[in-house]
Amino acid sequence: MHAKESVVIRPARNFLGSIRVPGDKSISHRYAMLAALAPGRSRFENYSPGADCNSTLGCVRALGCAVEREESGAVVIDGIGSQLHAPQSALDCGNSGSTMRMLSGIVAAQPFTSELIGDESLSRRPMKRVMEPLREMGAEIFANNDCAPLQITGTTLQGITYRVPVASAQVKTCLLFAGLLAEGQTTVEEPTPTRDHGELALRAFGAEVIRSRNSVSITGGQALHPLDAFIPGDSSSAAFFLCAAAIFPESNLVIDGVLLNPTRSALLDVLTAMGSRVSVLNIEEQHGELVGTLSLVPGRAKPVEISGAQTALLIDELPVLAATAPFGAGLVVRDAGELRVKESDRLTAVTRNLEAMGAQVEQTADGWRIPGGQKLHGAEIESFGDHRIAMAFAVAALRAEGDTLIHNSECVAISYPGFFGDLEKLLER
Residues that bind ligand S3P (CB under 6 A): 26, 98, 168-170, 173, 195, 315-316, 338
> Please, which residue, 186 or 251, has the CB nearer to ligand S3P?
186
* Smallest gap from residue 43 Cβ to ligand S3P (A): 21
* Smallest gap from residue 263 Cβ to ligand S3P (A): 10
> Please, which residue, 263 or 363, has the CB nearer to ligand S3P?
263
User: How many C-beta atoms lie closer than 10 Å to residue 224's C-beta?
Assistant: 23
Report the alpha-carbon distance of residue 331 to residue 310 in Å, rounded.
14
Report the alpha-carbon distance of residue 270 to residue 247 in Å, rounded.
14
Q: What is the dihedral of CA 390, 393, 395, 400, to 10 degrees?
A: -150
DSSP string, 384-427: TT-HHHHHHHHHHHTTSBS-EEEETGGGGGGT-TTHHHHHHHTE
* Smallest gap from residue 227 Cβ to ligand S3P (A): 18
Q: Are 34 and 224 in contact (CB under 8 A)?
A: yes
Q: Which of 119, 196, 316, 386 is catalytic?
A: 316
Residue 166 CB contacts under 8 Å (≥ 6 apart), including other chains: 129, 191, 338
* Smallest gap from residue 315 Cβ to ligand S3P (A): 5
> Please, which residue, 169 or 359, has the CB nearer to ligand S3P?
169
Phi, psi of 266 (to 5 degrees): -60, -25
Report the alpha-carbon distance of residue 321 to residue 181 in Å, rounded.
39
* Smallest gap from residue 133 Cβ to ligand S3P (A): 14
> Please, which residue, 234 or 422, has the CB nearer to ligand S3P?
234
Which of 159, 131, 137, 156 is closest to 216 using CA atoms?
159
Q: Are 406 and 9 in contact (CB under 8 A)?
A: yes
Report the alpha-carbon distance of residue 205 to residue 223 in Å, rounded.
9
> Please, which residue, 169 or 427, has the CB nearer to ligand S3P?
169
> Catalytic site residue 335?
no
> Please, which residue, 43 or 125, has the CB nearer to ligand S3P?
125
* Smallest gap from residue 171 Cβ to ligand S3P (A): 6
Residues recognised as catalytic: 316
